[in-house]
């Protein structure tokens, strides 16, 4: 299950694990104009772990999900 919410400065996507136990913590993705952050609570450290991706890194990750093993470079259209 997931939810999508539009806030003032970002779109927030929350991914909820509905599989079999043990379930993973929710993943919260903030999509800003210039970057994307991914957060997840880590019960082992009792803290939220956060990574930040540039928009290009996020585009590369999305493309990588549908490609076989290898090394790739995406051709980007110039604005």
Stated pTM of the model:
0.82
Domain that holds residue 44: 2-54
pLDDT band at 14 (very low <50, low <70, confident <90, very high): very high
Q: In the chain, which residue ranges form alpha helices assigned H by DSSP?
A: 55-64
Residue 26 belongs to some domain of the structure: yes
The answer as to whether 62 is a domain residue is no
C-alpha Rg value of the chain to the nearest Å: 15
Q: What are phi and psi of 65, to 5 degrees?
A: -65, -20
What's the structural domain count of the chain? 1
Please choose, from the candidates 21, 32, 23, the residue with its C-alpha nearest in 3D space to the C-alpha of residue 13: 32
Q: In the predicted model, what is the mean pLDDT of the chain? A: 92
In a domain, 31, yes or no: yes
Is there a domain that residue 43 lies in?
Answer: yes
Q: With respect to residue 27, please indicate whether it lies within any of the assigned structural domains.
A: yes
As a whole number, mean pLDDT of residues 30-53 equals: 97
Cis before 51? omega within 30 = no
Using pLDDT thresholds of 50, 70 and 90, give the confidence band for residue 31: very high
- What is the band of 6 on the pLDDT scale with cuts at 50, 70, 90? very high
Using the predicted structure, report yes or no on whether residue 41 has a pLDDT greater than 80.
Answer: yes
What pLDDT was estimated at residue 75?
Answer: 83
For residue 22, being part of any structural domain is answered with yes
């Amino acid at each position: 299950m997931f939810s999508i919410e539009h806030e003032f400065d970002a779109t927030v996507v929350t991914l909820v694990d509905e599989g079999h136990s043990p379930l993973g913590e929710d993943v919260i993705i903030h999509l800003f104009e210039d970057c994307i952050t991914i957060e997840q609570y880590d019960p082992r450290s009792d803290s939220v772990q956060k990574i930040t991706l540039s928009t290009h890194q996020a585009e590369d990750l999305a493309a990588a999900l549908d490609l076989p093993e290898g090394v790739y470079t995406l051709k980007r259209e110039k604005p």
